[in-house]
Amino acid sequence: MVMKASLQLKLGQSLTMTPQLQQAIRLLQLSTLDLQQEIQQALESNPMLETSEDDDNQNPEPETADSQNDAAETSSAEEASTAAESSQDWDETENGPDWSSETDSPDNIPDDLPVDTAWDDIYQSAPASAARNDDENDNDFETRNSPTETLHDHLEWQLNLTPLSERDQAIAHALLDAVNNQGYLTSPLEEIHSGMMDDSDEDPLELDEVEAVLHRLQHFDPPGVFARDLQECLLIQLNQLPPDTPWLAQARLVITHYINLLGNRDYAQLLRRSRLKEDQLRDVLALITGLNPRPGDTLDQAEPDYVIPDVIVRKHNERWRVELNPEIAPRIRVNASYASLIKRADSSADNTYLRDQLQEAKWFIKSLQSRNETLLKVATRIVEHQQGFLDHGEEHMKPLILSDIAQAVEMHESTISRVTTQKYMHTPRGIFELKYFFSSHVSTDEGGECSSTAIRAMIKKLIAAETPKKPLSDSKIAAMLGEQGIKVARRTVAKYREAMHIPPSNERKRLV
């Protein structure tokens, strides 16, 4: 059989993403921190990029005729960039948002970029803010950068200051290794004792010695550490209170004998068995609730995560104004000195390298501009839709899905998803991720829709106003919402309540 080569023509359609489009999409989904790192990496790798300082008012003079033309085009691009607005308004009294300019999305970026393009050569994330005082920047530097002390470190520091024999020191370290982050001893004393036993030792270790060292360690700070269970933890804290503390003896009685009744909120049985009156038991419970059931949490806390908002929303002259945060990214531009070295007719390796770097720099600046313009456009539409939340709170949040914003800004839902992920909005009511403003809906009796976020706020409000002695059940909350025209099932109320970390009604019961 003979194989014969031939040429064939086929007609078909395919979607090709240019490197520039891929870069624009990648920058669009970056968080603020990742964006800052990306810009810093671009500044280090591309000599054509530089940061734009406020005091740079003059550019170096070009040296050749060709470079004069390039510099003139760069200068005109800089003047064009200064006219661009970095904020948008939504006027409650007018018909819709006041757009400063219409910009292309990353999907519309051209496939090729000429070197002599008139695109803006300066990227400015937002208007420059006033310079901060150096004293404010240096304030509390050690506190912000020092590592957090863990519970284990705190207990070991106290152990090193405690005079103990060498034998007791070994026992104490074994006990310390068995303490979890909440301050509880996780291993039985018998297991710790057997793990320290040495058959060749002439004086074998006794269990009573381990227990004696444990009782000594239970006086460490914070009160309640090295306890083996909740009952012992609370009793340790009660024993460290002054003897003349009111209701101390009665609190020990309740914790020692009736802690199960206390946990089940069975106050009727607790009153009968402890032989306390209702007002006396109320004072006893006030003392007990002042104790810490997880003493280790006071020290072993995770490092706080600080959020830098991408957009800022404020009300000015009855208009909600949306603007980019000027602190999220440095302002960068094309280095005019290096750009002036490019000669159009020169095809040398050095000139080609500079030309390629200039093209990449302009694409990077354009991608950054597109990212922020898209972010600003989406944030403005969200503010337009959720004015009720901004004016009156969570109960006035409206249902919103990605397709609603996608249709409003004429972009794909995937683009909206990238824009709203790990992007934050600073409002007078707090800082929220853009995805927070999107929620499903529940039908109302009047044929309308109610946001799930608004329903959660209503549930939280009803529970906050309930009688502690007789808390509302999930069925009762569903019925009360039904009276307001909101159709919601009991299991839906339970799901929303659990999402807000609110305990069920039997655990919310209080003796008042």
Torsion of CA 345, 350, 356, 362, to 10 degrees: -90
Taking the model in full, what pTM does it have?
0.64
Residue at a domain's end among 427, 460, 486: 427
Domain that holds residue 457: 439-508
Same domain, 379 and 465: no
| CATH number of the domain that residue 494 is part of | 1.10.10.60
Report if residue 321 sits inside a domain. yes
Q: How far apart are CA 474 and CA 495, in angstroms?
A: 10
Note the pLDDT of residue 82: 34
Burial of 110 (0-12, 13-18, 19+ CB in 10 A): middle
Residues 314 and 404 in one domain: yes
* Residue 154 resides in a domain: no
Q: Give pLDDT, residue 302.
A: 62
Q: Identify the pLDDT of residue 384.
A: 93
Is residue 260 included in any domain, yes or no?
A: no
**Shared-domain flag, residues 423 and 317:** yes
Say yes or no: 422 and 454 in one domain.
no
Instruction: Write the DSSP assignment of 390-402 as a string of letters.
Output: HHH-GGGPPPB-H
Q: Which of 400, 427, 454 is the last residue of a domain?
A: 427
User: 501 and 391, same structural domain?
Assistant: no
Closest listed residue to residue 320, CA positions, set 394, 386, 276: 386
Is the backbone peptide bond immediately before 222 cis, with ω within 30 degrees of 0? yes
- Whether residue 122 lies inside any domain: the answer is yes
| Token pair in block for residue 198 | 């040495």
Q: pLDDT at position 150, please?
A: 87
Residue pair 281/271 in contact by the 8 Å Cβ criterion? yes
Instruction: Give tens-digit pLDDT for 328-347.
Output: 877 888 988 888 888 877 78
Say whether both 504 and 453 belong to one domain. yes
- pLDDT digit string (tens) for 393-448? 888 889 888 999 999 998 889 889 988 988 999 999 999 999 999 987 777 766 66
Domains of the chain: total: 2
Are residues 394 and 457 part of one domain?
no
Range of 78-92, 194-208, 250-264 with top mean pLDDT: 250-264
Q: Is 2 exposed, middle or buried (0-12, 13-18, 19+ CB in 10 A)?
A: exposed
pLDDT for residue 68: 38
Residues 466 and 409 in one domain: no
What average pLDDT does this structure show over 472-479? Answer: 92
- Does 256 map to a domain? no
To the nearest whole number, what is the mean pLDDT of the chain? 80
CA geometry: angle 220, 226, 227, nearest 5 deg: 120
- Beta-strand relationship, 424-427 and 311-316: parallel
Give 36: exposed, middle or buried? Use CB within 10 Å, 0-12, 13-18, 19+. Answer: middle
Report H helices in 303-401. 336-339, 349-385, 387-392
Angstrom distance (rounded) from CA 236 to CA 228: 11
pLDDT for the residue numbered 2: 64
Q: Does 323 share its domain with 380?
A: yes
What's the confidence (pLDDT) of residue 87? 53
Whether residue 413 is found in the same domain as residue 312 = yes
Average pLDDT of the segment spanning 5-21: 74
3-state secondary structure of 103: coil
Same domain? For 331 and 407 the reply is: yes
Query: Domain for residue 279, yes or no?
Result: no
In a domain, 460, yes or no: yes
State the amino acid at position 327 in one-letter form.
E
Question: Does the pLDDT at position 511 exceed 90?
Answer: no
Angle at 44 between CA 43 and CA 48, to 5 degrees: 55
Closest to 362 in 3D by CA, of 117, 152, 144: 117
Domain-ending residue, one of 427, 453, 470: 427
Between the CA of residue 256 and those of 187, 274, 510, what are the distances in Å?
22, 11, 20
CB of 295 within 8 A of CB of 12? Answer: no
Of the spans 92-101, 140-149, 225-234, 289-298, which averages the highest pLDDT?
225-234
Q: Looking at the domain assignment, is residue 196 inside a domain?
A: no
Residue 485 has pLDDT above 60, yes or no: yes
Weakest mean pLDDT among 181-185, 307-311, 339-343: 339-343
Judgement on whether residues 31 and 104 belong to the same structural domain of the protein: yes
If you average pLDDT over residues 255-284, what whole number do you get? 90
**What are the b/e assignments for 489-499, b being 16+ CB within 10 Å?**
eeebbbebbee
